Chain A
Amino acid sequence: MECVFGLVGNDFAVVVADTSAVHSILVHKSNEDKIMILDSHKLIAASGEPGDRVQFTEYIQKNVALYQFRNGIPLTTAAAANFTRGELATALRKNPYSVNILLAGYDKETGPSLYYIDYIATLHKVDKGAFGYGSYFSLSMMDRHYHSGMTVEEAIDLVDKCIMEIRSRLVVAPPNFVIKIVDKDGAREYAWRESVKDAAVASA
């Protein structure tokens, strides 16, 4: 039921993830941020087993930071993607992580890029990608409307189209989504799309 998708635009990459934390039939919370800012110019959108998701992405994040301190320069997106895939592959036949990842990044030399990394350590460099049941709808929408070199407005429009499809056609559609973007100015949160707001905790 977790929906994660993303695409590469003109000079940026955008990733979207649903924000429901679900356990069997219970929704724990609907504002769980599943897109981690890996470093200044990389985003990891992850879906899958909640424990593995957090554990694995934090582990990758700290190793990416360590590389930067050791070597004085940050990893490229491709290097980070390959490192992530390598860690999944190493664990696969012993103690696999059940995490699917879309890694988006911006490199000064090569521009924006998006990597599809699934839980059995498949790695693909893609222009658009998606995971989960929502992928049936978001991939179809993106196949229809995507073209290379989209502007931010066009891309967000496409993202909203995808979210609308998921909301209307997926039986247990997640109500809320978070959109994050990465470009030459860095990785940052772009917007939330909420149809259900978590009630604020009442003060004592």
Chain B
Amino acid sequence: MARYDRAITVFSPDGHLFQVEYALEAVRKGNAAVGVRGTDIVVLGVEKKSAAKLQDSRSVRKIVNLDDHIALACAGLKADARVLINRARIECQSHRLTVEDPVTVEYITRYIAGLQQKYTQSGGVRPFGLSTLIVGFDPYSGVPSLYQTDPSGTFSAWKANATGRNSNSIREFLEKNYKETSGQETIKLAIRALLEVVESGGKNIEVAVMTKEGLRQLDEAEIDAIAAEIEAEKEAVEAAKKAPPKEK
């Protein structure tokens, strides 16, 4: 195995590209990120590792916009993310310049995934160590979308997905609890999913909401309020479970 995992362009005998798989490991070590699609809204939530006391938290934005109607969150190597995000932003404007239309979510996802794939088939480079969650509304049709890409360059559309640390637990939770929601309900679902693996509180998660009007970052107070609502609902459910057996 040691001979087949150095160079990216070498397959192992059993058909693996080890560098790509190691890149996926890097993603698994990154912060948790979750995306949930509603009927009129798409929500992105990202775990915020506790900021160093002296760090200006405003300079660490984990959910970024690529264009007025497209946003991206990612898990993995943040420095690699900067490069990818920059290229995507240029492509969004370039598309507008050449065809006088904003990009669709699928187009820019295909572009980013294509870029990630290129770096799995070139000499002397390593793959990008990140998976992205891309959300947005298609221009004109106004349909909301959520897409995910990974270091191998594959991409697909999702109703809800998670990536990064403990993404399996979050995805399990989403599979059990997903239903078509809109507005505030979608935001709550996304935060609930994230709180499965992250310590509760507005300080530890960053949430942004994409509507037809554009991207809106939720501020700490708002997130705290919704987290409190979720806690209260959880407790109510717990209490309901405990109460009936005693009423015998």
Residues of A whose CB lies within 8 Å of any CB of B are 58-59, 62-63, 65-66, 69-70, 72
Q: Are A62 and B94 in contact (CB under 8 A)?
A: yes
Interchain CA distance A58-B99 in the complex, whole Å = 12
Nearest CB in chain B to that of A61: its residue: B97
In the bound complex, how far is the Cα of B86 from the Cα of A62, in angstroms? 14
- Give Cα distance in the complex from A69 to B90, angstroms: 9
Chain A residues with CB under 8 A of B90: 66
Residue pairs across A and B with Cβ atoms less than 8 A apart, 21 shown, are A58-B97, A59-B97, A62-B93, A62-B94, A62-B96, A62-B97, A63-B93, A65-B93, A65-B96, A66-B89, A66-B90, A66-B93, A69-B65, A69-B66, A69-B67, A69-B89, A69-B92, A69-B93, A70-B86, A70-B89, A72-B61
Q: Which residues of A contact B61 (CB under 8 A)?
A: 72
Cβ of A13 to closest chain B Cβ, rounded Å: 25
Q: Roughly how many angstroms separate A124 CA and B61 CA in the complex, as a whole number?
A: 38
B94 CB to nearest A CB, Å: 7
Taking CB atoms, residues of chain A closer than 8 Å to B65 are: 69
Label chain A's interface by main secondary structure.
helix
Q: How far is the CA of A21 from the CA of B228 in the complex (A)?
A: 61
Task: Kindly list chain A residues whose C-beta atoms are within 8 Å of the C-beta of B96.
Answer: 62, 65
Interface centre among A62, A65, A69, A70 (most CB of B within 10 A): A69
Q: Kindly list chain B residues whose C-beta atoms are within 8 Å of the C-beta of A70.
A: 86, 89
Q: How far is the CB of A131 from chain B (nearest CB, A)?
A: 25
* Residues of chain A lying within 8 A (CB to CB) of residue B89: 66, 69-70
Q: Chain B residues with Cβ under 8 A from A65's Cβ? A: 93, 96
The smallest C-beta distance from A2 to any residue of chain B, in angstroms, reads 23
Most buried by A among B65, B67, B93: B93
Q: How far, in angstroms, from A72 to B58 measured CA to CA in the complex?
A: 11
B66 proximity list for chain A (CB < 8 A): 69
| Bound CA–CA A204/B97 (angstroms) | 32
In the complex, how many angstroms separate the beta carbon of A62 from the nearest chain B beta carbon?
A: 4
CB distance from B59 to the nearest CB of A (A): 10
